[in-house]
Structure 1
Amino acid sequence: MKMTTVKLKNILKERFSNENYRTSYNRDKDTFRVEWKDSKQGITITLPNVVSKYDERGKVAIDDLTEHVEEALRIMNEEHHLSGKEKHIFPVIRATSFPTETKSGEKMVYKDHTAETRIYYALDLGKSYRLIDESLLEKEGWTKERIDEVAAFNLRSLEIDYKKDTVAENDFYFVAKQDGYDASHILNEAFLEEMKLNAKGELAVAVPHQDVLIIADIQNKTGYDILAQMTMKFFAEGRIPITSLSFIYEDKHLEPIFILAKNRPEKK
């Protein structure tokens, strides 16, 4: 069956026919919105994007979308607490272009990281998580310092698995557990220091999207070019892109690098 936005709209309308939901279709923008009747909080779906995924993956794409929207709506309708959930708070890396406010105007809790990245904080809810905003902090009586300390401690408690690949005598390590916190391991200083200690050459890292951390032991000039191509590819394919730039890790600091035609890094 050839999928169109109109057909998709009808499928979604049927799937979200729950009496607690209200659905609407914006013909001009080609979007479909599902929201709670009472609170009017909801999700807006860009239909042409889903049609493209359907063309690639078939019905599975619509099933995944339905599950994602249902989970997001559930989270919106629940009251969340930090106290008693301390072990479920983690840092997440986002691009500096990522919003600092929710759509309802609540300010997000975040911390500057590099010129390309910021640290936000997530309350893990099992299948998904909620990014923490300042109103939740105030309601719980928490400070930004406390949320940062708790999140950093929990991150260090996560097991780190990685796969290794050697290309042109350069070693690349990929942390890709896909638990939502792969890129967050760039904040684990002890881990980076261990990798630096065991590196034969210069250590570089990249967080092209949320679900991968690339660590590169660069042992020749070609290694920088390989890392740049690799990072750009991951960045283009990522569900939540972060940055296509790589970083040199030196003296516990991250310095963005640019890959030039001569395969040589230049510090920003």
Structure 2
Amino acid sequence: MDSQRMRRELESRLRGENRKLIYDREKDQLRIESERTGKGITVSLTGIIAKWNSEKEKAIDEVVYYVEEGLRAMENPVQLTDHEKKIFPVIRSTSFPAEAEEGAPFLTDEHTAETRVFYAYDMGNTYRLIDARIMENEGWEPERIKEIALFNARSLPTPLKEDLVAGNIFYFLNTNDGYDASRILNKGFLNDMNKKIQGTMVVAVPHQDVLIIGDIRNDRGYDVLAQMAMSFFTSGRTPITALSFLYEDGELEPIFILGKNK
């Protein structure tokens, strides 16, 4: 699969009424724009091809779904008042854009050296990041949004799957509700997990739809976690960071793990 074939495939599936498709040859990016709103989504063909090599049609299906839902969300107004239960925090990489394409800054909070907290309005199958223009239109203060979002995050269920690898225990949270990584903001949940950890507690959020907690009891455990985090990071639809975090005294500290074993 090369860029031209991928471009043609995406254009055939995303072309529609009141849509404009723009290809940037230099950056190898395809932008899908709604003519109703003037807003759009830009996707990197290089990244999609890399995923297609391992996942085939699933990689394309995911991009099409992401674009369709994203454009639909842009065309629907955000109403915070009387919809407080739809407000949630989301975790993103610090390299994620700090403002919407129209120039309105997103509402954010510092988190770690690798991650930043954004705030979102849930729209069912997708969500829209809250920016300054939305807050102004709704007449809401930032602190009100943050407080409600964190309360809602604490209310999310935390079902875990457990796996024993090389004497270490790994817990996986993967509900695919769009807020799996957001559970890292639930201090009560993290503290409860810390109480049951017998070794060193290490946390990873490689992409938005997974949270990994490691009970690391030997050096091999760090290698395993590093490989897991990198694998999830490269396969996730919204990557965050391949680094992991030590959880000590209620604080998250990024660590770099140099893997030695395959």
Q: TM-score, normalised by structure 2?
A: 0.87
| Residues 53-87 of structure 1, C-alpha deviations (whole Å, 9 max, x = no match) | 55655555544433332222221122111112110
SS at match of 2:256: strand
135-144 vs 56-65, which moves further: 56-65
Deviation at 1:177, TM superposition (A): 1.3
Equivalent position of 1:170 in the other structure: 168
1:90 paired to 2:68 = no
Q: Which amino acid aligns with 1:200?
A: Q
1:18-68 C-alpha deviation (Å, 9 max, x unpaired):
332233444555544332224322233444554555565555554443333
Give the counterpart letter for 1:89 in structure 2. Answer: I
Shift of 1:141: 1.8
Assess, with a 3 A threshold, how the Cα gap between structure 1 residues 219 and 55 changes in structure 2: closer, same or farther. closer
Equivalent residue for 1:255? 253
Q: Any unmatched runs of 5+ in structure 1?
A: 264-268
Q: Which secondary structure does the structure 2 equivalent of 1:234 belong to?
A: helix
Following the alignment from structure 1 to structure 2, what is the Cα–Cα distance between the partners of residues 218 and 122? 33
Q: Following TM superposition, by how much is the alpha carbon of 1:182 offset from its aligned partner in structure 2, in angstroms?
A: 0.9
User: Which structure ranks higher in relative contact order (CA pairs < 8 Å, sequence separation ≥ 6)?
Assistant: 2
d(CA) in 2 for partners of 1:55 and 1:112?
Answer: 35
Give secondary structure in 2 for the equivalent of 1:229.
Answer: helix
TM-score, normalised on structure 1?
0.85
Partner residue of 2:129 out of 119, 128, 131: 131
Return the index of the structure with the highest Cα Rg. Answer: 1
Separation in structure 2 between the aligned mates of residue 234 and residue 39 of structure 1, nearest angstrom: 34
Q: Give me the whole-angstrom Cα distance separating, in 1, the residues matched to 2:260 and 2:70.
A: 46
**Corresponding position of 1:266:** none
Residue 145 of structure 2 is aligned with which of 147, 158, 162?
A: 147
Moved more, 210-219 or 124-133: 210-219
Distance 1:94 1:17, change over 3 A: closer
Alignment match, 1:202: 200
Question: Which of 37, 40, 49 is the matching residue for 2:38?
Answer: 40
**CA 1:212–1:14 in 2, change beyond 3 Å: closer, same or farther?**
closer
Aligned length: 261
Q: Measured at CA, do residues 196 and 141 of structure 1 come closer, stay the same or move farther in structure 2, by a change above 3 Å?
A: same
Moved more, 50-59 or 193-202: 50-59
The 1:30–1:247 alpha-carbon spacing in structure 2 relative to 1, beyond 3 Å, is: closer
The letter for the 2-side match of 1:110 is T
Identity level (%): 51
Residue 109 (structure 1) aligns with:
107
Matched, 1:72 2:70: yes
Q: 2:192 corresponds to which letter in structure 1?
A: E
Quick one: structure 1 residues 166 and 139, their matched pair in 2 at CA, closer, same or farther if it must change by over 3 Å?
same
